[in-house]
Amino acid sequence: MNMLVPQAETLVKGLISGLDGTEEVDVVVAPPFPSLYPVGRLLRGSPIALAAQNLHWEASGAYTGEVSAKMLLDVGCKYVIIGHSERRQDFGETDETVNRRLKSALSEGLVPILCVGEVLEERKAGLTWDVVGRQVRQGLQGISRRDAGRLTIAYEPVWAIGTGETATPDQAQEVHARIRRLIGELYDEAVAQGLRIQYGGSVKPDNIRGLMDQPDVDGALVGGASLKAESFLGIVKF
């Protein structure tokens, strides 16, 4: 929940200018709902895609305060973040509602970014994979092989979000590799190898290279560092 429309527009203009022909990286921005339409207009014809931070699973109706997949498509979204840790922790998101949102996004052609991750107490208790594995399995319940191949999974250890703490590259790689193996078990090796798995959690220009050097880390879900063009571009162009 950052930036008013003029600030968001200024940021995006800086990103478009700073990318300047960069084509080997897919770049996506996810502003708050009020900025989606004006930012989407600026992004037309640029190499940057638009994402929303959430959506409701119903197409329309008496769901005050919610937005649907069709509404997001209407303002130019290609991607949507689903199950972010803050939605799970602060707004009652569950594996079941994440699954329903995921199915809605996929049915309308949006590309979901499914977020999974454990809190500090769970990591200390040795429950990282119990939590992450459950979130992946239940999030993908009833999702077809074809649709599974279209989504992105973002591993975000909750203890590393906004804390300055970052999972070490080895810690990130361990969980990413297990997620990929699980996708292979749920679907097949082709889906597993084609799946993008991002790391999210205090990603900055000075730690992105170590993370991206890991074989199963395919990208980054960037938080605070995305609020300034200079730092975000430093991550994109690492």
Alpha helices (H) in the chain, listed in sequence order: 5-19, 33-43, 69-74, 85-90, 95-108, 120-124, 128-139, 145-148, 169-186, 189-194, 208-212, 229-236
CB 177 within 8 A of CB 222: no
Q: Report the amino acid identity of residue 124.
A: K
Q: From the candidates 56, 84, 93, 122, which is the catalytic residue?
A: 84
Tokens of 116: 């999974």
Task: State yes or no: is 84 an active-site residue.
Answer: yes
| Cα dihedral 133, 138, 139, 142 sign | positive
Q: From the candidates 93, 118, 122, 156, which is the catalytic residue?
A: 156
Q: CA dist 94 to 134, 190, 214, Å?
A: 11, 29, 30
Catalytic residues: 84, 156
